[in-house]
């Protein structure tokens, strides 16, 4: 049996790898390959999963739909030739009798349909929460969107309802139930995004920094935007150190696919490297880099992502998947609106619809001081976000369930 996994982004690649590992446990004889349609597929390389076609990191990071000006830059860098080569590889795979799993949005879903093979779809990008919640439509949703009846447009639903589509796995219950009304084989199995996060082994017996407010810093995973986001986050950090009496522990969770040195070089002069931070953090990363400034401490990690999320009390976040996973743990994130191409105003607004009150938007970094003060003095808010995180992001175990569905529905 042969399966090709298509995905379109770092977060989607990571989710795809989780599902692949479960498939390999169920059927070790299965031939599995991958094709990241956006980026270079770091997660696949790390997991030793073969990639069947050329890949390349484009200037837009795959977010041309967020900023059309980025499209020209991608075309100049060879987007058209790359897309043709990838499409030809997918068609060749299908002609050889292989099946396809698309992970992400309409791009891998369209590739899967065009291949002519049977396929499944894991929808990571869209949720009915973008337009409505359990009580009904959100105020910003326009008449045309309400007429369509679902956050998935009719052409997307057509691809999901096609006879060759053997199963659709939305990211939450509200979306699965909505698609089922359109006679789509949508399975409500949870969100694979939380696998390896919600069930991560982080049993903190003693917290040496229990008197510190621990803020996880999440700048995203695409360069150069991640570095620009990091600089905005550092401005917020500086405002907190200058205007608050709290003791702070900042934890920079930098994607392992990114070079670390530019993030260190971006630190302003008050930060001084501290090779032997004492007491040591309970974050299991031997290469963690530590700094101190005023009443704050900063640790930057690239090797213990899940530990960082669990250890943090709150997050300053300008990321996609990472922000959602943090919220899924029942925690609160402050998101500074950036310039994009990914984390711009529209993306941030959509993320706030998706995650509800668990995320709070900041127009400027300096707004974080008052926002954190308000949040820390509102006990009702902390109770609410624990329930909201689970509802919006689901429980762990979805990758295992998706793997079994694929074996039974797609690979038989």
Are residues 312 and 227 both part of a single domain?
yes
pLDDT at 64: 46
Res 347: pLDDT: 86
For residues 236 and 166, membership in a common domain is answered with no
Q: Is residue 145, in this structure, part of any structural domain at all?
A: yes
Question: How far is 319 from 327, CA to CA, in rounded Å?
Answer: 12
In a domain, 205, yes or no: no
Dist CA 369 CA 361 (whole Å): 13
Q: Is residue 199 part of a domain?
A: no
Q: What Cα–Cα distance (Å) separates residue 12 from each residue in 21, 50, 104, 256?
A: 14, 16, 6, 15
**342: how many CB neighbours lie within 10 A of its CB?**
25
CB 100 within 8 A of CB 6: yes
Q: What is the DSSP letter of 60?
A: T
Write down the pLDDT at residue 101. Answer: 97
pLDDT at 275: 83
Identify the pLDDT of residue 20. Answer: 96
Task: Supply the pLDDT for residue 295.
Answer: 77
Which helix (H) or strand (E) element contains residue 69? Answer: helix 69-76
Do 220 and 289 belong together in one domain?
yes
Q: Residue 344 domain-assigned?
A: yes
Q: Which residues of the chain register pLDDT less than 70? A: 56-79, 412
Instruction: Kindly state whether residues 388 and 400 are assigned to the same domain.
Output: no
Predicted pLDDT at 362? 93
136 sits in the region (left: phi over 0; alpha: psi -120 to 50; else beta) called left
pLDDT of residue 38: 84
Same-domain status, 42 and 96: yes
DSSP 8-state code for residue 137: E
Residues 227 and 289 in one domain: yes
Q: Which long-range contacts (CB under 8 A, 24 or more apart) does 103-106 make?
A: 103/5, 103/6, 103/7, 103/8, 103/12, 103/13, 103/15, 103/16, 103/19, 104/6, 104/7, 104/8, 104/9, 104/12, 104/37, 105/8, 106/155, 106/156, 106/159
Judge if 68 and 141 occupy the same domain.
Answer: yes
Whether 309 and 361 have beta carbons less than 8 Å apart is answered as: no
Residues 179 and 229 in one domain: no
pTM value is 0.85
Domain containing residue 174: CATH number: 3.40.50.2000
- What total of structural domains would you count in the chain? 2
- CA neighbor of 337 nearest in space, from 265, 210, 233: 233
What residues have CB less than 8 Å from 213, skipping those under 6 apart?
Answer: 246, 247, 248, 249, 313, 314, 372, 376
Full residue range of the structural domain in which residue 290 is found: 213-393
Q: What 3 state SS string does 171-185 have?
A: CCHHHHHHHHCCCCC
pLDDT reported for residue 367: 93
């Amino acid at each position: 049996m042969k399966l090709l996994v298509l995905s379109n982004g770092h977060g989607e690649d990571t989710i795809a790898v989780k599902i692949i590992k479960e498939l390999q446990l169920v059927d070790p004889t299965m031939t599995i390959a991958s094709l990241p349609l956006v980026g270079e597929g770091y997660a696949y390389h790390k997991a030793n999963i073969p990639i069947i076609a050329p890949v390349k990191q484009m200037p837009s990071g795959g977010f041309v739909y967020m900023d059309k000006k980025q499209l020209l830059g991608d075309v100049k860098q060879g987007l058209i030739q790359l897309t043709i080569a990838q499409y030809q590889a997918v068609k060749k795979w299908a002609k050889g009798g292989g099946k396809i799993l698309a992970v992400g949005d309409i791009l891998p879903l369209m590739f899967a349909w065009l291949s002519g093979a049977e396929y499944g779809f894991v929808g990571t990008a869209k949720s009915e929460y973008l337009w409505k919640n359990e009580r009904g439509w959100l105020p910003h949703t326009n008449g045309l969107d309400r007429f369509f009846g679902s956050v998935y447009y009719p052409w997307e639903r057509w691809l999901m309802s096609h006879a060759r589509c053997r199963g659709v796995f939305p990211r939450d219950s509200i979306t699965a139930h909505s698609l089922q009304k359109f006679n789509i084989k949508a399975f409500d199995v949870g969100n694979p995004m939380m696998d390896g996060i919600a069930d991560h082994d982080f049993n903190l017996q003693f917290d040496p920094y229990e008197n510190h407010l621990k803020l996880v810093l999440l700048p995203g995973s695409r360069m150069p935007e991640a570095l620009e986001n990091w600089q905005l986050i550092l401005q917020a950090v500086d405002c907190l150190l200058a205007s608050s009496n709290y003791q702070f522990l900042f934890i920079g969770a930098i994607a392992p696919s990114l070079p670390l040195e530019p993030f260190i070089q971006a630190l302003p002069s008050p930060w001084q490297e501290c090779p032997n931070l004492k007491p040591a953090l309970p974050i299991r990363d031997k290469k963690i880099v530590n700094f101190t400034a005023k009443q704050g401490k900063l640790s930057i990690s690239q090797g213990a992502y899940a530990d960082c999320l669990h250890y943090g009390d709150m997050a300053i976040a300008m990321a996609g998947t990472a922000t959602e996973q943090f919220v899924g743990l029942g925690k609160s994130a402050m998101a500074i609106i950036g310039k994009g191409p990914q984390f711009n105003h529209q993306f941030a607004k959509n993320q706030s619809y998706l995650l509800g009150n668990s995320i709070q938007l900041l127009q400027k970094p300096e707004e974080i001081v008052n926002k954190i003060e308000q949040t820390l003095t509102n006990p009702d808010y902390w109770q609410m976000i624990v329930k909201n995180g689970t509802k919006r992001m689901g429980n762990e175990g979805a990758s295992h369930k998706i793997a079994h569905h694929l074996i039974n529905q797609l690979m038989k």
